[in-house]
């Protein structure tokens, strides 16, 4: 395939068809302004040729890393299919409209948690969060709850894809796509 987005779509669709629970789970790796790497699991919430979309608190460690260093990578791994996809690129904030749309598609409980949690900050204990959620719930309904400005989406705009398929005797198939001025350069890599 000449377009890695099509290959990505095919593999993700296959993972869902095979019944892999939360096949849209991916490892997001960022690097801080001090050059320290960090990785965590997040959910892919949308994708197109314009990027891969995920959401978080803009005050979280991952968001701070992204704001100081826009380069990041994603990793999808489906053990059942013996496949993985590595994606590298530049991360930009999603539009306010995209963030609002996704926020209002979520459950009331999930949004209460998003508003109440000062993600990545040290808190005294779990009761701190439970009390904040109770207060927000008391003051809001699902209709009145609004997305806070400190929560929203990011898009990773791909510059590199690598598709890995396990092979017998560890003779794995690896194909990379690197974005160039005139399109995607495709290479076969040794396992």
Taking only the tens place, the pLDDT of each residue in 71-83 is 999 999 999 999 9
In a domain, 77, yes or no: yes
In a domain, 54, yes or no: yes
According to the model, what pLDDT value does residue 2 have? Answer: 80
According to the model, what pLDDT value does residue 18 have? Answer: 97
Options 106, 137, 147, 170, the catalytic residue: 170
In a domain, 140, yes or no: no
According to the model, what pLDDT value does residue 1 have? Answer: 56
Residue 177 lies in domain = 4-104+150-189
In a domain, 86, yes or no: yes
In a domain, 76, yes or no: yes
In a domain, 144, yes or no: no
Can you give the CATH number for the domain in which 40 is found?
2.30.110.10
> Active site includes 61?
no
Looking at the structure of the chain, the number of domains it has is 1
pLDDT in tens, the chain (191 residues): 588 999 999 999 999 999 999 999 999 999 999 999 999 999 999 999 899 999 999 999 999 999 999 999 999 999 999 999 999 999 999 999 999 999 999 999 999 999 999 999 999 999 999 999 999 999 999 889 999 999 999 999 999 999 999 999 888 999 999 999 989 999 999 99
Is the separation of the CB atoms in 31 and 69 below 8 Å?
A: yes
Q: b/e string for 136-146 if b means 16 or more Cβ within 10 A?
A: eeeeeeeeebe
In a domain, 115, yes or no: no
- Long-range interactions of 134-143: CB distance < 8 A, separation 24+: 136/112, 137/112, 142/108
Global confidence as pTM: 0.93
In a domain, 120, yes or no: no
């Amino acid at each position: 395939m000449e377009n890695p987005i099509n290959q990505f779509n095919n593999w993700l669709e296959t993972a869902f068809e095979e019944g892999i629970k939360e096949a849209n789970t991916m490892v997001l790796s960022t690097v801080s302004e001090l050059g320290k790497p960090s990785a965590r699991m997040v959910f892919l919430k949308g994708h197109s040729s314009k990027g891969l979309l995920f959401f978080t608190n803009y005050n979280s460690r991952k968001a701070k890393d992204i704001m100081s260093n826009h380069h990041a990578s994603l990793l999808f791994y489906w053990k059942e299919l013996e496949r993985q996809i590595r994606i590298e690129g530049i991360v930009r904030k999603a539009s306010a409209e995209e963030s609002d749309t996704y926020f209002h598609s979520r459950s009331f409980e999930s949004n209460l948690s998003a508003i109440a949690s000062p993600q990545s900050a040290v808190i005294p204990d779990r009761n701190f969060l439970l009390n904040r959620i109770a207060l927000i719930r008391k003051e809001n309904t699902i209709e009145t709850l609004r997305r806070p400005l400190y929560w929203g989406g990011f898009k990773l705009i791909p510059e590199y894809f690598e598709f890995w398929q396990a092979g017998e005797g560890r003779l794995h198939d690896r194909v990379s796509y690197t974005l160039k001025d005139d399109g995607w350069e495709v290479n076969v890599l040794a396992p």
